[in-house]
Amino acid sequence: MSTENDDAQAKLIDLAAEFYDQFAGGQIPEMSIPTRTKSNIEYDEDERVWVYGDRKSTRSANSVRGARKLLKAVYTIDFLANQLEEDRSSTLRELYYLSESWDAKEAQFSDQDESNQLIEDLEIVSDVTREDFHMRPEESGATLMGPLHLREQTRRGERDIHCQEDVGEGGYQIPNNPDTIEFLDHDADFILCVETGGMRDRLVENGFDDEHNALIVHLKGQPARATRRITRRLHQELDLPVTVFTDGDPWSYRIYGSVAYGSIKSAHLSDYLATPDAKFIGIQPADIVEYDLPTDPLSDSDKNALESELEDPRYQTDYWKEQIELQLEIEKKSEQQALASHGLDFVTETYLPERLSEMGII
Amino acid sequence: MSTENDDAQAKLIDLAAEFYDQFAGGQIPEMSIPTRTKSNIEYDEDERVWVYGDRKSTRSANSVRGARKLLKAVYTIDFLANQLEEDRSSTLRELYYLSESWDAKEAQFSDQDESNQLIEDLEIVSDVTREDFHMRPEESGATLMGPLHLREQTRRGERDIHCQEDVGEGGYQIPNNPDTIEFLDHDADFILCVETGGMRDRLVENGFDDEHNALIVHLKGQPARATRRITRRLHQELDLPVTVFTDGDPWSYRIYGSVAYGSIKSAHLSDYLATPDAKFIGIQPADIVEYDLPTDPLSDSDKNALESELEDPRYQTDYWKEQIELQLEIEKKSEQQALASHGLDFVTETYLPERLSEMGII
């Protein structure tokens, strides 16, 4: 078993040991975790990420319902500890189904929400990430293309891969747990996270990664944890600036927000997933005006989402206030690919160079 | 320009030349295409794919509406011919936006449905596929893992990639146009197309591709054209049997149907995309019973979908009739990952070996 597995396993077993000690000491076993309601999650202005407040909830065996929850936790800890022992992994859905094979009927999950929630609880209490429990997501599938040479530790041995020279046009497929990657060498000047596949392919076709020494990370809409994790690691370990290029609508600003500041749901993972220094490239409402882009009108739900972003602590900057208010005024949104109305090279020859140099990146 | 580009370009220019000749001969220009309503699409029992019937629709310049359609076709042909000349490519959405830069306002598309439809018309009339026009999809992203050594022709030169030894755990990313791939060498005995990412990862983790010489193609739900294309090519060129492993519900049977028999929408592409010899592994309704899998009840829309499959010419076999009727009787459906209720190795050590040997594949 690797040291990382050892460490994650030890923390899990500590948890179970606590229950044991509580029993042995004549106490009713309980597990205390931060309350995960919105009122107990706050935005830390200094760290620029979401964190939990001080309120705690207690799962105690003093009720049948609470005792059953702790029983499920113990069975799950046992499963995870074995999984790490054998250096294997599984999906959240497999865990849910697998519980049907457990001998104690009471320990089986009644639906998948319950098992998902328990894994999140265990993440928080043990301070071990889901990835370190070896729980995989159902689908991941984002890719990376650019001047980066890396080594991935796979079950079949090490793979040394250069993310331009050793991959096809589809790029390098980011694994479910990017912490299996070691960065060997690179010629990159910055990271460019891109929302849509169409734009990612345009940048690769136009050789933008090559010409500007950019690492192009495809976000595929709302990015998976693996995508946010590798972005953070590239930023921290290689000291590269991170930029985010999305459509110009409130849902895409949330994609930027999730890369930069994390989400309420993953407030316990901000240190692991968020990149608060990430900068937003566009499409900005100001670009819609300046570049006279083809647009669609804002729908009511777009307007509501913008209004709620005006209240969201993550967007309390002069920059975002100005952009969001401008968008509410012009009542228009625009897509990344709308830049093609000025020709297929406009994005790589004009728009991105202009924006990136305004931002001081190139 | 490559020979393929030359060829596609010539066919497009032939189309435009036809309009020119019609003009020169004093005729009103027109374009004739197979009628694409359901009543003119039939299932060819011998070829086991969808084909068009004999009815044709004519787009003629004898009305303002028809003339405008032909104008748009001519501008699009011009754009595509240039794109091929320069060996570039674009997405359907870029084409739509790009039309805003065309000098003739009348040639601009009013919405993306219109440009999508026109590209399909041109595919049918010119007998050139969208991929050979160099039109890319918005998102693709399926992957392949297994004992296959291939060469991909990228814009940056050739890349020789072994789909086990030269890739990370994420596998080889299938490019948008898999016809840029040459198969160099392989040790595969069969192809295993898998619906969900969770199951694909399970098979890779358990080393199923290695142990059984399987090429694992991740379908990612309803498969993209690129995924269906590479599956057909692997079958045809390497003479490998194709098997499809999905969830056990009517929507997943349609995923199988689209790999095997193509879809009504792409009836003109059956020769290019479909693999009528593909075999369905499961989850079969019979498996739900035999392996006592965890299930969910059928919803009304599930039942309706099953009923309509009973009428669908693609499922008119004893096998499908029996399975679908059994499912309507037990009123249950089950997921691939439900096999985990018998342990994480059950799928690779018991279920797949049993099914594949029943089917005569291994």
Tokens encoding A293: 């882009």
For residues A248 and A288, is the Cβ–Cβ distance under 8 A?
Answer: yes
Convert the pLDDT of each residue in A61-84 to its tens digit: 889 988 999 999 999 999 999 999
For residues A29 and A68, is the Cβ–Cβ distance under 8 A?
Answer: no
CB of A169 within 8 Å of a chain B CB? The answer is yes
Dihedral pair phi/psi, residue B307, rounded to 5° = -60, -40
Distance CA A83, CA B122 (A): 54
pLDDT tens, per residue, chain A with 362 residues: 567 788 889 999 998 898 889 988 989 988 888 887 777 888 888 888 788 888 888 888 889 988 999 999 999 999 999 999 998 999 999 999 999 989 999 999 999 899 999 999 999 888 899 999 999 887 776 999 999 999 999 999 999 999 999 999 999 999 999 999 999 999 999 999 999 999 999 999 999 999 999 999 999 988 999 999 999 999 999 999 999 999 999 999 999 999 998 877 777 888 899 999 999 999 999 999 999 999 999 999 999 999 999 998 888 899 999 999 999 999 999 999 999 999 999 999 999 999 999 999 99
Cα separations (Å) of A141 from A34, A177, B198?
Answer: 32, 12, 11
Q: Which residues touch A184 (CB under 8 Å, ≥6 apart)?
A: A149, A150, A151, A160
CB of A225 within 8 Å of a chain B CB? The answer is no
> Which residues from A are below 8 Å from B166, CB to CB?
159, 161, 166
The DSSP output letter for B347 is I
Q: Does the structure show a pLDDT above 60 at B1?
A: no
Cα separations (Å) of B136 from A335, B90, B130, B321?
Answer: 17, 6, 8, 38
Number of other CB atoms surrounding residue B3 within 10 Å: 7
Query: Pick the catalytic residue: B20, B43, B52, B97?
Result: B97
Distance CA A287, CA B158 (A): 38
> Which residues from B are below 8 Å from A197, CB to CB?
137-141
Distance CA B175, CA B163 (A): 13
Distance CA B22, CA B15 (A): 11
Distance CA A147, CA A137 (A): 27
HSE of B125 in the Cβ direction (CA atoms, 13 Å)?
23
Q: What pLDDT is attached to residue B6? A: 83
Tokens encoding B250: 């009517």
ipTM attached to this prediction: 0.90
The yes-or-no answer on residue B97 being catalytic is yes
Q: Token match 């193609």: residue?
A: B217
Distance CA A353, CA B5 (A): 31
Q: Does the structure show a pLDDT above 60 at B29?
A: yes
Residues of the binding site of B for Mg(2+)? 195, 247
Report angle CA A172, A173, A178 to the nearest 5 degrees: 105
The alpha helices in chain B, defined as continuous H runs, are 3-24, 64-85, 92-98, 112-126, 197-205, 208-212, 225-238, 250-261, 270-273, 285-290, 300-311, 318-330, 346, 352-358
Q: What pLDDT is attached to residue A141? A: 67
Q: Does the structure show a pLDDT above 90 at B186?
A: yes
Q: Smallest CA–CA separation between B292 and chain A, in Å?
A: 11
Amino acid making up residue A248: G
Q: What pLDDT is attached to residue A4? A: 76
For residues B216 and B144, is the Cβ–Cβ distance under 8 A?
Answer: yes
For residues B332 and B298, is the Cβ–Cβ distance under 8 A?
Answer: yes
A343 and B207: CB-CB below 8 Å? no
> Which residues from B are below 8 Å from A175, CB to CB?
168-170
The 3-state DSSP class for residue B286 equals helix
For residues A2 and A87, is the Cβ–Cβ distance under 8 A?
Answer: yes
Distance CA A321, CA B179 (A): 48
Written as one string, the DSSP assignment of A59-71 is EETTSHHHHHHHH
Of B88, B97, B337, which has the smallest distance from its Cβ to A93's Cβ?
B337
Of B140, B154, B196, which has the smallest distance from its Cβ to A197's Cβ?
B140
Long-range Cβ contacts of B7-10 (<8 Å, 24+ apart): B7/B128, B7/B132, B8/B84, B8/B126, B8/B128, B8/B132, B8/B133, B9/B80, B9/B81, B9/B84, B9/B85
Least confident of A43-52, B114-123, B215-224: A43-52
